[in-house]
Structure 1
């Protein structure tokens, strides 16, 4: 990281007459008596802003400490007196003070960086309040919804052809180039930087971050692209701007067209989400045999892409379509994260598609905290087949309550699902963990996203613009959030599938065995149309997906423990 030029000048010219004159107002603040509690809020705020700008500076053996606050009053005199006594015990070379000075210089640079980011956030929010509708967005949505599996397979074939042509060109150039590159272990550098950040060692952390940035790239190989994402998270954590950058990312989203192209690329290249969709559709087809009404309760907002294929199958199923289909979407009441327009758009498109196919269809939205939604909120009819579906959404629930006397949000949701007594609960989870501390979480995310980025590098050409949006904007947001934020600001709290298995069983749910016909259909599709290193296997009645042996996603089905299964 670049050093702050103001901090350098303060340390180098701390006894300059002009600087001493500028410090006089602050000296008066330090020597003033405590502020009366009767002062109005505006005066208190002004004084706190002034005090917040003070920086630790040193001249010889003398030092001045920035203000400390306690209950709205300045507590300075006794603290400074104690510092004078403590200085007698410090080494004569002032190494401790110099080290603390450097950290304080870094803290000041954090403040400057934070103000710049907040300013940028405001500008972005002002410019994105009204965005004109992009040309072709509706047509692309319709194509993605109605194209089905065949369209994704065609796109995968195009990617395979593009990669083959790239390999041919690479072979022709092989041997002609004599350019050598220094080999750098970016993974080790990232972990060492995270260790320095965790110890609040700003100097070493900044130096390592500079080395990482020199080799990171948005257009390089998988590790260079991943390092670009992780370096942003480490920088935000070093600068203490994680929460502000989270708000910035909410305001500075990719355009709708960029998102759809990146999402379509992800669906075509890796097949992870498509396997989840087919797994759900085939499971529902089984429980709908001989039934005439279906009600799907889905956690999350990405229903349009998930259920379009099921609507098409139900409308054309042998024996005629159902008498009715209803989808109830449960989403959080956070409009900045889940725009109402996006949910309404999905409902409109699904309804229109079902109407064109002659299938009676109802789309409803429950906007509330997921742990507060229960059977009474869902308008379930007695003759409906009830299916509860979670496509990676419960991983965003906190893994523990912020109140000691409140139940775990995940256990609460699972308990509510049990009370719904669905015909089947279909669960898809991210096979990752946040661990018990920052370093543990950092390593888990590094291993997890290394596999994803390596997969994209093997399947998608590096010059692909949608790939860059997918990596840096969509996946990169989760990386930045996981590294830069803590506590309630963390967006994801994933658990390994074995942990979910134990949690579900404690909640009174019973796991159903995988149906061999479903597993065989999916294995056949992956083997026939997708990369040989994509993993699709089964273990403990979980359908597992991953890359080169690393399990990234897992899918399973459940019923209430004392309920019957078909």
Structure 2
């Protein structure tokens, strides 16, 4: 814990109509020697006014510098002024609430401060006298009560009690020890909160199993769940009638005209188009209305400004103020898997490609770029646990962006603990390493701990699209640098899955039009597979599609992180980086088509192969593509 954070808990706060009156326990036997010291104490103790205390994730170095300067001023004033041992300060409050200080005894000119302090320390009679006088003077402006409340930002009944303070030497020692106890108790409370979070994670373990593990026939169990079938049935019963009642509006044309007005700086026309779109769109309507609502939010954000913090603040303002729990996110993810085969087939494809090169290997080492929660690997662990021709040990290196705060790798470390529990359950020897890095291109091969007796597999699922490309810098392209890093790792197999999108153009209008086509297919897919009032569908569209569209449309330059390319563009880039593409067997494509029928997915989902890429799409539009590569 930050020592400055701990020190802020050492104060006591008295509530007597003015919650800003704070004071520390007296550790010296003498009152403050000057107004400068009073100002210093006031600044330190009143900075957490009005009870707005928060655990600071970003320490204010400027505040620390100001405190040091004030302390230095106190020392300087003390050196310039000398006091008699019998001197004392008489404080009184004026009408404006300020403190006036006057010395009741003459200053003893010429007496050094050190000598004064030594004399005070070694004179017991004078020390007791000065302490008694200090207490008498202090009591004049203290409230008429002996009740003190510990100023902590925690709700504990035993700590909300009142503490009586008797101003004696023994009581001061007891109070000091009591403060240390308070700090320890606060640490215990934080630990208990952390433990409560782990308990919540334990409650959703069963849901994790339902979403991430396979059934007895090696199929995802959620796809045939009766609850999901009921959702699909209600969609089939009520979807057509609602569509006939909706007014036909050409949202694509309205959105495009609005974007063109914004690009030319015609704010008045843009606001007029936005008003028309707002009147006709709805987050609970059909696919076109939901798309228009989502893109209208993004266009409005672009009108306000295109910097990252401003966009984030705007997005937080238009979304719910309540944070989704892990269970809420998992429910939305579960419904997404049940209504769309995209992610499931990506997982199955990577499992097949990895096991082809890892048969009978002593150790399989998987380096996962963008592991996040590791949803892909529990079914892989379950699958290899019941086979003999699989690796005898599994190693996973999870690479992810750091988390804000003092523990940047906490999220991916938690992913490792969850995967370790699955490996323990299925008796799979396991080793995990977490790497939290803001710039993946700066990771060195030595950081990955690659060993000569293992099969190395690299997985990059839908995350390399977030790397900066040539539009940011012609000389240093992080996208090519990461591919070069993977090439230097010399993996036995590299599985790459991409979002097949062409809305990475540096020109706003071109990017906007392509984004409209891409997200139109995604919203139409949900509209054909889920009812419009499904909470998980609404959450997924808001938190995933809404956030992505906001970044694509409203942000520019380094703030824009959604930069997908088509699979053909990636193919050129991969060959240029020194990789050779492995062909996809026709029987694998046919197997996936049979899976779609078995899992009862919508008939408009498409699985195909082109240029050695496994393509997935909706109504003829390719949305995702997967491929397998080896070093050339």
Equivalences for 1:401-412 in 2 at 5 Å?
Answer: 402-404=472-474, 406-412=475-481
Matched, 1:327 2:327: no
> Does the CA-based 8 Å contact 1:330-1:366 persist in structure 2?
yes
Cα 1:371–1:396 change in 2 (3 A) is same
How many Å apart are 1:334 and its aligned residue?
A: 5.2
The equivalent of 2:221 in structure 1 is 151
Name the counterpart of 1:266: 336
SS for the counterpart of 1:304 is coil
CA contact (8 A) 1:374 1:417 kept: no
Structure 2 residue 237 is matched with structure 1 residue 194:
no
- Aligned partner (choices 507, 526, 547) of residue 456 of structure 1: 526
Question: Contact 2:579–2:631 (CA<8 Å) still a contact in 1?
Answer: yes
Matched, 1:211 2:313: no
* Residue 313 (structure 2) pairs with residue 313 (structure 1): no
The 8 Å contact of residues 222 and 453 in structure 1, kept in 2 or not, is answered as yes
Instruction: Output the TM-score relative to the length of structure 1.
Output: 0.71
Cα distance between partner residues in 1 of 2:271 and 2:258: 8
Is 1:556–2:556 an aligned residue pair?
A: no
Per the alignment, do residues 339 and 217 of structure 1 end up closer, same or farther by CA in structure 2, a change over 3 Å counting? farther
Confirm whether residue 542 of structure 1 aligns to residue 607 of structure 2.
Answer: no
| Residues 399 and 408, structure 1, Cα contact 8 Å, conserved in 2 | yes
In 2, the alpha carbon distance for the partners of 1:170 and 1:545 equals: 25
Q: How far apart, CA to CA, are the structure 2 residues paired with 1:339 and 1:152?
A: 33
Helix, strand or coil: the match of 2:345? helix
Contact 2:212/2:220 (CA < 8 Å) preserved in 1?
no
Structure 1: distance between partners of 2:519 and 2:396 = 32
Residues of 2 paired with 1:202 and 1:326: CA distance? 55
Q: CA distance change for structure 1 residues 540 and 169 in 2, over 3 Å: closer, same or farther?
A: closer
- Tell me, yes or no, if the aligned pair for 2:299 and 2:554 is still in contact at 8 Å: yes
Separation of aligned partners in 2, 1:494 and 1:170: 32
Over the aligned positions, Cα root-mean-square deviation in angstroms equals 2.6
The question of whether the paired residues in 2 share the 8 Å contact of 1:288 and 1:294 is answered with yes
Whether 2:453 is the aligned partner of 1:383: answer: yes
Give the superposition deviation at 1:324. 1.4
SS of the residue 1:552 aligns to: strand
Give 1:344's aligned residue. 413
Q: Give the distance between the partners of 2:556 and 2:238, measured in 1 at CA.
A: 46
Match of residue 86 from structure 2? none
Aligned with 1:425 (options 494, 510, 515)? 494
SS in 2 for 1:535: strand
Instruction: String of CA shifts for 1:331-378, please: whole Å, max 9, x gaps.
Output: 234537x96332122111100110111111011112222111232211
CA offsets, 1:372-425, max 9 Å, x none?
123221111111000011001100001127455x32111111111111110000
> 1:486 Cα deviation (Å)?
0.6
Secondary structure of the equivalent of 1:383? Answer: coil
| CA 1:258–1:245: 2 relative to 1, 3 Å | farther
Distance 2:236 2:326 in 1: 32
Unaligned stretches of 5+ residues in structure 1:
1-40, 42-129, 562-566
Q: CA deviation at 1:165?
A: 3.8
Q: Deviations over 1:305-341 (max 9, x none)?
A: 111111111111135x5331100011234537x9633
Name the CA distance, whole Å, in 2 between partners of 1:339 and 1:184. Answer: 46
TM-score between both structures, scaled by the size of structure 2: 0.64
- Equivalent residues in 2 for 1:23-172, closer than 5 Å: 133=197, 134=200, 136-147=203-214, 149-155=219-225, 158-168=227-237
Distance between the aligned counterparts of 1:354 and 1:537, measured in 2? 34
The whole-number CA distance in structure 2 between the counterparts of 1:165 and 1:232 is 30
- The answer to whether the Cα contact below 8 Å between 1:347 and 1:363 also exists between their aligned partners in 2 is yes
Question: SS of the counterpart of 2:574?
Answer: helix
Once the two structures are TM-superposed, the CA of residue 435 in structure 1 deviates from its matched residue by 1.6
Q: Distance in 1 between matches of 2:324 and 2:533?
A: 18
- Alignment deviations for residues 99-132 of structure 1 (CA, whole Å, 9 cap, x no partner): xxxxxxxxxxxxxxxxxxxxxxxxxxxxxxx997
Query: Does structure 2 retain, via aligned residues, the 8 Å contact 1:536–1:546?
Result: yes
Tell me the distance in 1 between the aligned counterparts of 2:581 and 2:239.
49
Paired residue total: 426
State the 1:273 CA deviation.
0.7
> Structure 1: how far apart are the matches of 2:214 and 2:350?
18
Question: Does the 8 Å CA contact 2:332/2:540 hold for their aligned counterparts?
Answer: yes
> In structure 1, what is the Cα distance between the partners aligned to 2:528 and 2:561?
28
Give distance in 1, aligned partners of 2:230 and 2:617.
23
Q: Contact 2:235/2:529 (CA < 8 Å) preserved in 1?
A: no
Q: 5+ residue gaps in structure 2?
A: 1-61, 63-192
In structure 2, the partner of 1:289 is 359
